[in-house]
Amino acid sequence: MIEYDPAAGPKPETNAGGDTMITTDTATLLEDAANGIADVSRPDLQIMLRRAALLLRNCGSIAFDDDIEEALRDLSGEFGNTRNDMVRFIVREWMEKNTYLPVHELEEDGEVDGTA
């Protein structure tokens, strides 16, 4: 039987300093669901599987503050890219503008398609 309701959101825990922090142990939720599959509702299973898919899709990613994460979500939706693609794009642009990487310039005599 699952002790934690995944529809309720992340489970709050307290760290060594007494601060409340939010953790989601998706692996434990999936293992508990697998052990008691008859007791898991379809919507709860869908939530757990979607969370697992998101974790797999974003594994190895950097965790940012909430305001930055929100801006990344907005930008990735606007540009039609993934979150990781947006992070790579932003870092590359910053590095080029601050001369840490060479800037890709157009050749003066190169062909153009007539658009600005």
Q: Read off the pLDDT of residues 84-108 as tens digits, 9 standing for 90 and up.
A: 889 989 998 988 888 888 877 666 6
Label residues 36-65 b or e (16+ Cβ within 10 Å = b): eeeebeeebbebbeebeeeeeeeeeeeeee
65 and 97 share one domain: yes
66 and 41 share one domain: no
Half-sphere exposure in the Cβ direction for 91 (13 Å, CA)? 7
Provide the number of structural domains found in the chain: 2
Q: For the CA atoms of 48, 51, 55, 56, what is the dihedral angle to 10 degrees?
A: 70
Q: Is 93 strand, coil or helix?
A: helix
> Do the beta carbons of residue 72 and residue 62 sit within 8 Å?
no
Please give the residue range of the domain that contains residue 89. 61-105
Q: What is the pLDDT of residues 20-46, one digit of tens each?
A: 444 447 778 788 888 888 888 889 888
Predicted TM-score (pTM) of the model is 0.41
> Do the beta carbons of residue 6 and residue 48 sit within 8 Å?
yes
- 99 lies in some domain: yes
Residue 65, both tokens? 């503050």
| Domain at 72, CATH number | 1.10.1220
- 112 lies in some domain: no
